[in-house]
Amino acid sequence: MFNWQGRTDTEDGNKGLRWHQVVNQQGHSDLPAINLVGLASDLGVRANKGRPGANEGPVSIREALANLPWHWGARLIDSGDTLADSDLSDAQSHYANAVSQALLQSQFVLGLGGGHEIAWGSYQGLYNTLQTSSHQSKKIGIVNFDAHFDLRRPAPYTSSGTPFRQIHAHCEQHGDDFQYACIGVSRAANTPALFDFADTTATRYLLDTQCTLDAAQAMLTPMLQKVDQLYVTICLDAFPASAAPGVSAPSALGIDVLFVIQVLHFLAQQQAACNYRWALCDIAEMNPAFDIDKRTAKLAARLGFEVADAVLPAR
């Protein structure tokens, strides 16, 4: 388990608490909770011919989260990491089980990566939860902030570039609709074959040159009205390399951080209007081996903070 530590402001009492001071505290079990679940893996990145080092990502994100202030009347739980040493599929299954356990306890899950192979594990965790619970609403929608579609064909192995292709195959196998939206796609980072597959599968997407809040809302609302459960995943390579140098494949252009924050809050606010539940988000491709001044880790932590702010009740 990660050793949470950081600054303490005892002179401010409970209003001076930070993440490291509230994590895994006993009591108040009736309060809503956010649960940190990590997949410490760069096996998928290596298989995708990317830069290794993402297996240290979850620890780096926690270090950046530790000193952030805690603003909410909620609990913070850290369930630790699944370590992916040699068998990616097995690690994804173990991570999925940890996600399911948290979701079955009505906790919001914030997944910490690791390579974007975390997405296949996150989806399995949510899907399995819906099969074993009393939830009648099982149509899953996916919003991915990413420079890449990650719809690659396994060739022959799965990787950080294949998770949404795996999800599509799973949907076909089980007769489910593939409801997938990718925001921030770079034409310079995806082949025509990937665009063709995206079009064939009715994937919704915005290019990095098209990302405005109005455009995102217009694209996402019809999908949100069709789904019952929402899974959001944030790939840190969606952002400019100046903001996120510590990733497997840095972006030459990228999308604006504020835009992503605005969309995250929009997704939380639309739950009642569109009648879906958002209980799962992950942050992927954190690679501290290539980070500069901990910029990427701080960005990941800010995004985690904004997710918490969007879904948790104020103090």
240-256 confidence digits (pLDDT tens): 999 999 999 999 999 99
Contact 85, 198 (CB under 8 A): no
Give CA separation, 9 vs 13, 150, 229, 305, in Å: 7, 43, 39, 19
pLDDT computed for residue 134 by the predictor:
65
What Cα–Cα distance (Å) separates residue 186 from each residue in 46, 139, 206, 209? 21, 28, 9, 8
Report whether pLDDT(17) > 60: yes
Predicted pLDDT of residue 28: 72
The candidate with the shortest Cα–Cα distance to 247, out of 193, 295, 294, 285, is: 285
How far CA 199 is from CA of 74, 196, 202, 234, 271, in Å, comes to: 41, 5, 5, 21, 27
Q: Report the alpha-carbon distance of residue 72 to residue 82 in Å, rounded.
A: 27
For all residues of the chain together, what is the average pLDDT? 96
pLDDT in tens, 19-67: 999 999 977 778 999 999 999 999 999 999 999 999 999 999 999 999 9
Q: What is the pLDDT of residue 136?
A: 59
DSSP string, 173-231: HHT---EEEEEEE-TTSS-HHHHHHHHHTT-EEEEGGG--HHHHHHHHHHHHTT-SEEE
Are 67 and 20 in contact by the 8 Å Cβ rule? The answer is: yes
Q: How confident is the model at residue 138 (pLDDT cuts 50, 70, 90)?
A: confident
Which pLDDT belongs to residue 137?
64
151-202 pLDDT, tens digit per residue, is 999 988 999 999 999 999 999 999 999 999 999 999 999 999 999 999 999 9
Handedness of CA 163, 168, 174, 176 (dihedral sign): positive
Distance in angstroms (rounded) separating the CA atoms of residues 22 and 38? 18
**pLDDT digit string, tens, across residues 223-232:** 999 999 999 9
Coil/strand/helix, residue 157: coil
- Give me the percent of the chain exceeding a pLDDT of 70: 98
DSSP state of 292: S
Is residue 89 within 8 Å of 158, Cβ to Cβ?
yes
Count the neighbouring beta carbons within 10 Å of the beta carbon of residue 30: 6
Quickly state the pLDDT bin for 132 (edges 50, 70, 90). Answer: confident
Q: What digits encode the pLDDT tens for the residues 109-122?
A: 999 999 999 999 99
Is 161 in contact with 144 (CB distance < 8 Å)?
Answer: no
> What is d(CA 121, CA 115) in angstroms, rounded to the nearest whole number?
11
